[in-house]
Amino acid sequence: MANDRAGTDPDPDGGSGVIVLAATPIGDTGDAPPRLVELLRRADLIAAEDTRRLRALAARLDVTLTSKVISYHEHNESERAQVLVAAAQEGDTVLVVSDAGMPGVSDPGFRVVRAAADAGVRVTAVPGPSAVLTAIALSGLASDRFTFEGFVARRPGERARALAALADEPRTMVFFESPHRIADTLAAMADAFGADRAAAVCRELTKTYEQVRRGPLTDLARWAADGVRGEITVVVAGATPSASEPADHVDEVLARIEAGERLKEAAATVAAAHGVSRRELYEAALRAR
């Protein structure tokens, strides 16, 4: 029915449709891939994270939507994935878009790909804007190896534990964060990774007031305490190998415990400060108690 209409290569079998995950602009509308514009005009079914934002984007792109549009977000993702797969099985071209960037990267998309794969339905993608790649390119930090960690946990205890587990990560790390939590998150990162760990806060990427602030985590935390607005991506340098051994820092951990810290948190903080293995330092301190 729809493969020839959508500007995509027809399925080799000639009968089934296709699900297309398409990247949308993260800021500047001019970054919209031409194939996205074509698919917005010709897809049979469009699944959008926010249908109002989709219609606003289409208007900015001078596209009149004639396709059926349905919502596809975190609260209905599992149920709607089956609907989208069924439509593709009927021969439709199904377009999946999130509010910004690539569906499936901290946005709905994974479940429909999984469901389509299980059902033998073809899935393809239209590459395009990505906050993750844009931020790491602008950060000035190593980009040959990196890990995307998504949003940090909201609760302080969970956040501290999650960051402590990443203290020894040697790859550059990329995070998403909201403006009202960014100051607390940067302070928690300074505690977990060390105050001097290099990082970059990238806000409003590709928009008029784009800003990239680089520096040690402790400096960035102080800067963010005055308030930061907009969409935010944080890039943090990976841990550097240390010449010291975990056992060299046991006394520092024990001193923190004596002052009232829990062993796990004390070991994580000291390990991050000296670039040693958190697990090995924890075990060494446990034996020394």
Q: How many CB atoms lie within 10 A of CB 91?
A: 16
On whether the CB atoms of residues 47 and 72 are closer than 8 A, the answer is: yes
Q: Do 208 and 171 reside in the same domain of the chain? A: yes
On whether the CB atoms of residues 111 and 77 are closer than 8 A, the answer is: yes
Q: Do 269 and 185 reside in the same domain of the chain? A: no
Q: Do 150 and 226 reside in the same domain of the chain? A: yes
User: Could you write out the DSSP letters of every residue in the chain?
Assistant: --TTTTTSPPPTTSS--EEEEE-B-SS-GGG--HHHHHHHHH-SEEEESSHHHHHHHHHHTT----SEEEE--TTTHHHHHHHHHHHHHTT-EEEEE-SSB-TTSSSTTHHHHHHHHHHT-EEEEE----HHHHHHHHH-S--SSEEEEEEPPSSHHHHHHHHHTTTT--SEEEEEE-TTTHHHHHHHHHHHH-TT-EEEEEESTTSTT-EEEEEEHHHHHHHHTT---S-EEEEEPPPPP-SS-GGGGHHHHHHHHHTT--HHHHHHHHHHHHT--HHHHHHHHHHH-
Q: Is residue 99 part of a domain?
A: yes
**Of 100, 128, 156, which residue constitutes the final position of a domain?**
128
Question: Residue 25 belongs to a domain with what CATH number?
Answer: 3.40.1010.10
Q: Is residue 2 part of a domain?
A: no
**Of 83, 113, 128, which residue constitutes the final position of a domain?**
128
On whether the CB atoms of residues 23 and 109 are closer than 8 A, the answer is: no
Q: Is residue 152 part of a domain?
A: yes
pLDDT for the residue numbered 2: 44
**Of 87, 104, 128, which residue constitutes the final position of a domain?**
128
Q: What is the pLDDT along the chain (289 residues), one digit of tens a residue?
A: 444 444 444 343 445 799 999 999 999 999 999 999 999 999 999 999 999 999 999 999 999 999 999 999 989 988 999 999 999 999 999 999 999 999 998 888 999 999 999 999 999 999 999 999 999 999 999 999 999 999 999 999 999 999 999 998 999 999 999 999 999 999 999 999 999 999 999 999 999 999 999 999 999 999 999 999 999 999 999 998 766 788 889 999 999 999 999 999 999 888 877 878 888 999 999 998 8
Q: Do 179 and 117 reside in the same domain of the chain? A: no
Q: Do 212 and 258 reside in the same domain of the chain? A: no
Q: Is residue 3 part of a domain?
A: no
pLDDT for the residue numbered 112: 95
Q: Do 225 and 146 reside in the same domain of the chain? A: yes
The number of folded domains in the chain is 3
Q: Do 24 and 123 reside in the same domain of the chain? A: yes
Q: Do 180 and 198 reside in the same domain of the chain? A: yes
Q: Is residue 271 part of a domain?
A: yes
On whether the CB atoms of residues 67 and 43 are closer than 8 A, the answer is: yes
Q: Do 112 and 94 reside in the same domain of the chain? A: yes
Question: Residue 175 belongs to a domain with what CATH number?
Answer: 3.30.950.10
CA torsion, ordered 31, 176, 127, 28, to nearest 10 deg: -10
pLDDT for the residue numbered 174: 98
Q: Do 123 and 22 reside in the same domain of the chain? A: yes
pLDDT for the residue numbered 4: 44
Q: Do 165 and 216 reside in the same domain of the chain? A: yes
Residue 264: domain span? 246-288
Q: Is residue 26 part of a domain?
A: yes
Q: Is residue 275 part of a domain?
A: yes
pLDDT for the residue numbered 242: 65
pLDDT for the residue numbered 1: 41
Q: Do 64 and 119 reside in the same domain of the chain? A: yes
Q: Is residue 28 part of a domain?
A: yes
pLDDT for the residue numbered 241: 72
pLDDT for the residue numbered 16: 78
